[in-house]
Structure 1
Amino acid sequence: MIADGAPGRARRPWWPLLFVAVATAIMLPELLWGLSASDSYRYNLLWTDEFTSQFAAGNPWPRWLSQSWDGLGAPTFYHYPPLFFWVAALIRTPLFHLVGAQAAASLASLLILAASGGAMYLWLRRFGSPIAALVGALAYEAAPYHLYDIFARGSLAEASAYAALPLVPMAIDRIADRRRGGVALLAGGYALLVLGHMPSALLASISLIPAYFLYRVRPLGAAVALRGAGGILLGLALSAAYLWPAIELLPFTLSEAFGGAWFDPLNWAFWTPQRWPSAGRAMLNILFASTALIATIAAFFGRRSDADRGALRFWALLAIALFLLIAGFPPMLWQISQMTMVQFPARLMPDADFVAITALVIARPPLARPLTIAALLLAIMGWLVMAQTMIGRTYGVRSIAARSQALVLDDRRDAPTFLPAAVPMPIAPDERFGANPSLVRLPERGWLVRGQGARISVSQDGERIDATVETPSATTLVARRYAYPIWRVRDERGSIIVPTAQPVTGLVTWPTPAGRHHYRLEPGPAPGERASLLVSFLALMLLGLTLWQPRRTSLRKVLPFTARTSS
């Protein structure tokens, strides 16, 4: 019997267990006292509950949340990325009667936290000793902004960007070094980033990713550059099943709900404190961004080897560029329509943390240097603030947690940003927090038939609804479902009727002639949904081809007599 560590037996890696242990310690407040009372508590609870419920019932990608808005429905996951909620669904499905939505969300955060540490460790171990890589990965896993995303803002999808981000530069390195699997890793990593959080993917695509791609690939010629570009395009194709419908359906949503001072990127610019929607939040953004910048500069000036000068110069310049972007510079960039939908420039913090920790692991600067001490003190300050936030947002509200959950699950008021365009705005878009879900007027339960003497009977099987109408004159039928381009109506002859949105309520409506008629209302694919699924499927097949390489066997080994003989 061979003992661990003896020749002849590979030692099993132990570091994944460490990342899981640290993630468990971080998520302990939620595991003990419930889901954090974050800015997005309502949506984290609602979305996790229905997404995982539909997943457990056999729907692998729940896009229409039928229970939202008191049963009116919402197209939430036609627009919101699904990666985090897939993880939560995979946790909750086998334990559905034992694990609630809150616990599933917390456990999903735990797993994704651990995955972020593991991905960062795989990236960092090529730059230094295993211990340095491990410390850097743990710092990345527990970065203050990372915890801020989970416990204060409640942007669990954005927090998942920390796990996907290291895969992209790791893949670029493999392509630059002409190692096998680089294109596949780049495609998969970029697709995970998009499916994890689209704003984070967009921001990384205009900063970290192109900068590192040019730094590593540009000197190696056009062929290597084309492989890298092909990996990005393949990643976009893999995520087309999400991206295509999300873009095509954007005009059908209540885009005005994105308004409000809180969601204007320029209102968070560091140099305009008079416009800050929240001075406390803005000061935290400055603290987090300054910590990453000073840490990277400390690495540059504290390097131990001149051989690292070029790499550290690149990371330092990138850190300065990221700090300026987070600070709101240049202002014209944040006025572009696509960038305004990012809402918060601080969403570049995963990139800034990645850059800072990479530079520190490369340089391993002495702790006695003033810049290193300054960066460490700022990081400690950030961790202390987040420790207070983590306890306050869980233990501090435990007495009202059950009541809050009951209120949220009562009428299931979803995010106003995903309301159909025909629904009236809850409040004026220039208010501080934009649209308010509590002010949306919900219609009474039941169907409506516009016309005297009309009668209706309705039966429902899942989302398929059958309605029989008897009316002495032509009338209009109004179904208690929010109108969206997924609904299909067929009459008793099988003819398709195109429903419209009722102007006042935004509900599904269609004309009904006099007489007795039967209608079936059911959801179908959204515009671009089937085509986008086909594109993603073909991209997945192509990804498999890039990984599959037939094993080449020499003819001389198979047929020894074919060896060349001397003449």
Structure 2
Amino acid sequence: MRSRFLPFIRRPACILTLFGVLLMLPALLWGPGFTHSHQYNLLWTAHFGQEMAAGQLYERWLRGSFEGLGSPTFYFYPPFAYWIGGAFHAAGFTVPTAVNLTGLALLVASGLAMHHWLATRGTRPLLGAMLYMAAPYHLYDIYVRGALAEATAFVWLPLIALAIDRLPARRGVMLLAAAYASLLISHLPLAMLTGLLVIAPLIGWRLWQRAPILPSAIAAGALAFALAAFFLIPALTLQSHVSTSILWVQDYRATDWSIWNSSFELFPCLALGLILLAWPAARTPWGVIAILTALLSVRLIPFVWGISLLNKVQFPWRVFCITEFAAITALAGSRLRPALLVGAGVLLLFPYLFGGLLTAAFLRKPVDQALIARVAPDAPEYLPRGFDLSRVRPGNRWVDLTPWRALPRGDAILVERAGPVTLGHAAFPIWQVTRDGRPVPSSGPLLHFQATPGLYRVERLRLWQETLGGGISLVALLLLAMLALRQRAISHLSKFPAYSP
């Protein structure tokens, strides 16, 4: 029995799963605890779980948010991480357990992806995968920031790199399209940064080596955006209907952060430590990417974050996801230098210690889950356009909704006297007030209309953005399936001696 069991537990997938459980053990025992995003993780996981249990895979409107005013959160926020958490919750796990299991699933998946990537290069795949899983910012994302969506990016980075290595082969095109589309529906800022700092340099490097990959790379990119169109088209065209201006207030712009910022304790040591890890491979693409992104993360390369689009990334240290991936890839493929490893270890000790102390404090800090479930404090950027943003509390970004608590909720209201009516229902283009099946003109930020006595209803419309985006994604998915079937057919035919692909 023992001899049969030992080969199984020695498999990389089993080792990395057990290692992931070990890394997540504090959260599994005492968490998920208080994090920068704990209320959103609890609220959004509960929402997806309830909807998925009812058979609705992707409900973008959160009807309970903001004390029942509702919110179009997932018209704008990428859903991938919460599909995972929602599936756990729909399967019967409590919301906190589902959040923990999401973190565990993402951590293990990132390790498996990294192992596969490094194994194709023949460069210490198991060690590199474990280092990737235990990298300081990777754990900081889960334990301190509670940034499940950002943590999802760690899964796709190795697969994107692997796909570019496989171009122009058909499987490279399919993998790059699927992996980058998955990143687009996981975390938009990192999708943009990955395109600029990983995909473009790697494709440029291969072109410099005279690899004929440009047409296949363009095809993969177009297919990736088409696969994600069901999310991207509504997210990019409907922002004028919500309070996106609050996304880039003080401390939510990349230019508000620098190496001298008092809130930057963790990051200079992390950046320098990762540079030392990557230094032996400084003349390779991975060493260059690691060093440049480490410098970018603490704004030691001037002017870059001042570019308007990049400034909207909010935090320059988001790029550490890329830095850790590139540095570990560079380290795994280079000759180890003990002096640099010791120096990196000393520097990285501080972020581990600082992150560990914050984690311990956050795990001990109580979270009023009942209050979160009742108040449903969604992200204020999803409040309807024109809402009084002075009601947003600067500390926890909860919204004081006291003046609107007495307004009638629900999708039907019986009006007994003529005059103006305001409903406790956020305005958004998917909602239309009707009477006797006929539209009634209304305005926002909460649904407001002139009424005469009678029964009024709030009915849902399907937007052209949803129809167009869904149609494009469906066509792209069918195309990807056709490519996969053709690839499989070629693979089967190639087994015959007389066939030459």
TM-score of the superposed pair, with normalisation by structure 1: 0.81
The residue number in structure 1 matching 2:322 is: 351
The residue number in structure 1 matching 2:435 is: 491
What CA distance in whole angstroms lies between the structure 2 residues aligned with 1:11 and 1:113?
20
User: Would the alpha carbon gap of residues 229 and 13 (structure 1) be closer, same or farther in structure 2, given more than 3 Å must change?
Assistant: farther
CA deviation digits over 1:502-523, x for unaligned, max 9?
xxxx2112222x4x43332123
- Of 214, 220, 233, the residue aligned with 1:244 is 233
Identity %: 31
Query: Offset of 1:246 from its aligned partner?
Result: 0.7
Query: Does the CA-based 8 Å contact 2:8-2:14 persist in structure 1?
Result: no
| Residue type at the aligned position of 1:509 | H
Query: Does the CA-based 8 Å contact 2:391-2:399 persist in structure 1?
Result: no
| Residue type at the aligned position of 1:382 | P
CA deviation digits over 1:236-270, x for unaligned, max 9?
11111111111111111112212433212112122
The residue number in structure 2 matching 1:182 is: 172
What CA distance in whole angstroms lies between the structure 1 residues aligned with 2:320 and 2:125?
20
What CA distance in whole angstroms lies between the structure 2 residues aligned with 1:350 and 1:258?
21
Q: Are 2:264 and 1:282 equivalent residues in the alignment?
A: yes
Unaligned runs of 5+ in 1: 301-311, 448-457, 561-567
Q: Are 2:360 and 1:391 equivalent residues in the alignment?
A: yes
CA deviation digits over 1:452-504, x for unaligned, max 9?
xxxxxx9x5xxxx2333343x4x223221011111023321x22334311xxx
CA deviation digits over 1:15-43, x for unaligned, max 9?
11222111111221121112231111221
What CA distance in whole angstroms lies between the structure 2 residues aligned with 1:435 and 1:253?
19
Query: Offset of 1:298 from its aligned partner?
Result: 3.6
Q: Are 2:127 and 1:135 equivalent residues in the alignment?
A: yes
Q: Are 2:141 and 1:159 equivalent residues in the alignment?
A: no
Query: Does the CA-based 8 Å contact 1:427-1:436 persist in structure 2?
Result: no
SS in 1 for 2:297: helix
User: Would the alpha carbon gap of residues 151 and 392 (structure 1) be closer, same or farther in structure 2, given more than 3 Å must change?
Assistant: same
What CA distance in whole angstroms lies between the structure 2 residues aligned with 1:499 and 1:136?
57
Q: Are 2:395 and 1:413 equivalent residues in the alignment?
A: no
TM-score of the superposed pair, with normalisation by structure 2: 0.91
Query: Offset of 1:538 from its aligned partner?
Result: 0.7
Superposition pairs for residues 13-32 of structure 1, below 5 Å? 14-32=11-29
What CA distance in whole angstroms lies between the structure 1 residues aligned with 2:210 and 2:193?
26
CA deviation digits over 1:379-424, x for unaligned, max 9?
3333233333322211x22xx33xx222322311211111111211
Superposition pairs for residues 1-20 of structure 1, below 5 Å? 14-20=11-17
| Residue type at the aligned position of 2:414 | T
What CA distance in whole angstroms lies between the structure 1 residues aligned with 2:342 and 2:484?
45
Q: Could you tell which deviates more after superposition, 33-42 or 76-85?
A: 33-42
The residue number in structure 2 matching 1:335 is: 306
SS in 2 for 1:111: helix
What CA distance in whole angstroms lies between the structure 1 residues aligned with 2:396 and 2:361?
27
Q: Are 2:476 and 1:533 equivalent residues in the alignment?
A: no
What CA distance in whole angstroms lies between the structure 2 residues aligned with 1:390 and 1:221?
46
SS in 2 for 1:481: strand
- Of 245, 254, 257, the residue aligned with 2:246 is 257
SS in 1 for 2:454: strand
SS in 1 for 2:251: helix
User: Would the alpha carbon gap of residues 123 and 105 (structure 1) be closer, same or farther in structure 2, given more than 3 Å must change?
Assistant: same
Q: Are 2:161 and 1:169 equivalent residues in the alignment?
A: yes
Q: Could you tell which deviates more after superposition, 378-387 or 532-541?
A: 378-387
Query: Does the CA-based 8 Å contact 1:254-1:418 persist in structure 2?
Result: yes
Query: Does the CA-based 8 Å contact 1:119-1:166 persist in structure 2?
Result: yes
Unaligned runs of 5+ in 2: none
What CA distance in whole angstroms lies between the structure 2 residues aligned with 1:220 and 1:43?
47
What CA distance in whole angstroms lies between the structure 1 residues aligned with 2:64 and 2:225?
31
Superposition pairs for residues 158-557 of structure 1, below 5 Å? 158-176=150-168, 178=169, 180-220=170-210, 222=212, 224-270=213-259, 273=260, 276=261, 279=262, 281-300=263-282, 312-366=283-337, 368=338, 370-394=339-363, 396-397=364-365, 400-401=366-367, 404-426=368-390, 436-447=397-408, 465-471=411-417, 473=418, 475-492=419-436, 494-501=437-444, 506-512=445-451, 514=452, 516-549=453-486, 551=489
The residue number in structure 2 matching 1:118 is: 112
Query: Does the CA-based 8 Å contact 2:66-2:399 persist in structure 1?
Result: no
CA deviation digits over 1:247-302, x for unaligned, max 9?
111111112212433212112122xx2xx2xx2x41212122222111100444xx
| Residue type at the aligned position of 2:472 | V
Query: Does the CA-based 8 Å contact 1:149-1:156 persist in structure 2?
Result: yes
- Of 48, 53, 62, the residue aligned with 1:51 is 48
The residue number in structure 2 matching 1:305 is: none
User: Would the alpha carbon gap of residues 221 and 509 (structure 1) be closer, same or farther in structure 2, given more than 3 Å must change?
Assistant: same
What CA distance in whole angstroms lies between the structure 2 residues aligned with 1:498 and 1:201?
39
Give aligned pairs, total. 490
Query: Offset of 1:446 from its aligned partner?
Result: 3.6
Query: Does the CA-based 8 Å contact 1:139-1:357 persist in structure 2?
Result: yes
What CA distance in whole angstroms lies between the structure 2 residues aligned with 1:382 and 1:535?
44
| Residue type at the aligned position of 1:74 | S
| Residue type at the aligned position of 1:159 | A
Query: Does the CA-based 8 Å contact 1:183-1:546 persist in structure 2?
Result: no
